[in-house]
Amino acid sequence: MSVDTDILSYPPTTGVRRAHQTPLVAASDASLAGYGCLVDDPHGYAIEIVRWPAQGWRPVDAGSGDQGGVAEGLFEFAWRGQTLYARNHAVADSYLFGWSAWPEEAAADGPPAKRERALIWRANYHPDGGQMIWPVNGESFVVPLALPGDDVTPERFVSFWCDGSCGLYVRPNVWHGAFVPHADTATFLDRQGRVHARVSVDFPKEFSCYLAVPLGPPPGPKAQLP
């Protein structure tokens, strides 16, 4: 995976020394209720598209405002040193998602280091549509999610451990941080609304902390990594 760090979609916010640890649960349709669901087959899986909202009392015309369609492409992730980078080809964006150590001390390149958690600096939601990811090579991963609402706080996030046997669908308006792979590299099929509107929360700037995502495994019957 090639990522030009000079053209990251968002320069990361750093400079704090506190992390909020999220609870870790195994992803299932029951635990994901309200957030999304597991996806057994990515082929033709429908993405929810949200109609563009009316700006005043006049309604948006029927059959309009939801015609942007869906974007699809590979979403590549790679740990370099102690830093997690990603490239989403569906929307042509590159990211620095987080670190496995405090960012001031984290190696930004070189062989991936052993890691127990990811420190995530940012999360967002898409008001225009849902998003599905599918692990191309069965890669397991963890993702922090929070239910809709702009008054979000770190305490509202739950990290979901996905074993790589299924894909994950995140509903419109649901907050999501980085999809953090357990492996050094991972490739996902990504399908989402083409408009790709993003509403973001910056944890260091707003809450003086990072969101700490444990890399598992969680307690319970799915506690073994594949």
Token pair in block for residue 205: 């700037």
Helix (H) or strand (E) holding 11: none
Is the Cβ–Cβ distance between 5 and 96 less than 8 Å? yes
Average pLDDT over residues 203-226: 81
The answer to whether the CB of 190 falls within 8 A of the CB of 75 is: yes
Give the chain's largest Cα–Cα span.
Answer: 57
Burial class (CB in 10 A: 0-12, 13-18, 19+), 15: exposed
Does the pLDDT of residue 196 top 80, yes or no? yes
Whole-model pTM: value is 0.93
* Lookup: tokens for 175: 């907050």
Q: What is the pLDDT of residue 2?
A: 65
Q: What's the confidence (pLDDT) of residue 4?
A: 65
Give the count of beta carbons closer than 10 Å to the beta carbon of residue 25.
Answer: 18
Give the pLDDT confidence of 102-118 residue by residue, as tens digits: 999 999 999 999 999 99
Percent of the chain with pLDDT over 70: 94
- Six-digit token string for 90: 């569906």
pLDDT at 148: 98
- Whether residue 190 has pLDDT greater than 80: yes
Helix/strand/coil for 156: helix
pLDDT in tens, 149-163: 999 999 999 999 999
Q: Which two tokens stand for residue 2?
A: 């090639």
Rounded Cα distance, 200 and 186, in Å: 24
pLDDT beyond 80 at 123? yes
- What domains, with CATH codes, occur in the chain? 68-219 (2.60.120)
Flag whether pLDDT at 222 surpasses 90.
no
pLDDT, tens digit, 9 for 90 and up, residues 21-72: 999 999 999 999 999 999 999 998 999 999 999 999 999 999 999 999 999 9
Residue 44, pLDDT score: 85
Q: What is the pLDDT of residue 172?
A: 97
Read off the pLDDT of residues 70-89 as tens digits, 9 standing for 90 and up. 999 999 999 999 999 999 99
Residues 6+ positions from 156 with CB-CB distance below 8 Å: 146, 147, 149, 175
